[in-house]
Amino acid sequence: MTRRRILLIPLLVASTLMLTASGVTSQQGNADESDAGAPRTATAHLVGPDGRAVGTVTLIEGPNGVLVQADVAGLSPGGHGFHIHTVGACEPDFSAAGDHFNPGESGHGFTYEGGRHAGDLPNIYAAADGTARADFFTAAVTLTPGAENSIFDADGSAIIVHAKPDSYGESAGAGDRVACGVIRPGEPEPAGGGAAEEDGPATEAGDSDTTTPATDAGDSDTTTPATDAGDSDTTTPAADAGPSEDSPAG
pLDDT, position 187:
81
Q: Is residue 209's pLDDT more than 60?
A: no
**Residue 46 and residue 29: Cα distance in Å, rounded?**
38
Q: Is residue 194's pLDDT more than 70?
A: no
Q: Are strands 78-85 and 120-126 parallel, antiparallel or unpaired?
A: antiparallel
Tell me the per-residue pLDDT of 12-67, one tens digit each, with 9 for 90 and over: 445 554 544 444 444 444 434 434 455 699 999 999 999 999 999 999 999 999 99
Tell me the per-residue pLDDT of 130-146, one tens digit each, with 9 for 90 and over: 999 999 999 999 999 99
76 secondary structure, DSSP code: P
* Domain residue ranges of the chain, discontinuous segments joined by +: 40-189
* Angle (nearest 5°) at CA 80 between 124 and 132: 40
Query: CATH top-level class for 40-189?
Result: mainly beta
End-to-end CA distance of the chain: give it in Å, rounded. 89
Query: Which segments within 63-119 are labelled E, that is strand?
Result: 65-72, 78-85
